[in-house]
Amino acid sequence: MGRLIRSCSGEVSVNKCEGMCSSQVQPSVSTATGFLKECFCCRENFLRERLVTLTHCYDPDGLRLEDEDRAIMEVRLREPDDCKCYKCGDFSR
């Protein structure tokens, strides 16, 4: 019905893809700038599903919920399990 029953929060550590990838610039007679740039970015190669438990739950009035059924919330999220260098702007994978 679109009514807020509870809101939950918590601090959760998650994996992220971050790192350096080799990029290169080389002279080129076929480009307007005179250089051919090849840029690579670190992105997720594989995502895994993870179940996270949020333990700070509140009712619509902002009061902390204490009953066992509503005091916690389990949420499924997907986080990187493996990272890889991809050509920048290539979203076709």
User: Structural domain of residue 13, as residue ranges?
Assistant: 7-19+45-86
pLDDT of residue 80: 95
- % of the chain with per-residue pLDDT over 90: 58
Give the predicted TM-score (pTM) of the model.
0.60
pLDDT of residue 54: 93
Query: Is 61 a member of any domain?
Result: yes
pLDDT of residue 85: 94
CB under 8 Å, gap of 24 or more: what pairs does 37-41 form? 38/87, 39/87, 39/88, 39/89, 40/85, 40/86, 40/87, 40/88, 41/85, 41/86, 41/87, 41/88
Query: Is 55 a member of any domain?
Result: yes
User: What's the number of domains the chain is made of?
Assistant: 1
Statement: residue 31 has pLDDT above 90: no
Which amino acid makes up residue 47? Answer: L
Query: Is 34 a member of any domain?
Result: no
Query: Is 12 a member of any domain?
Result: yes
Query: Is 24 a member of any domain?
Result: no
Give the contacts of 58 (CB within 8 A, at least 6 positions apart).
Answer: 6, 7, 8, 64, 65
pLDDT digits (tens, 9 = 90+) for 46-82: 999 999 999 999 999 999 998 888 899 999 999 999 9
Query: Is 11 a member of any domain?
Result: yes
Query: Is 37 a member of any domain?
Result: no
Query: Is 91 a member of any domain?
Result: no
pLDDT digits (tens, 9 = 90+) for 5-26: 899 999 999 999 998 999 888 8
Look at 46 and 31; give whichever has higher pLDDT. 46
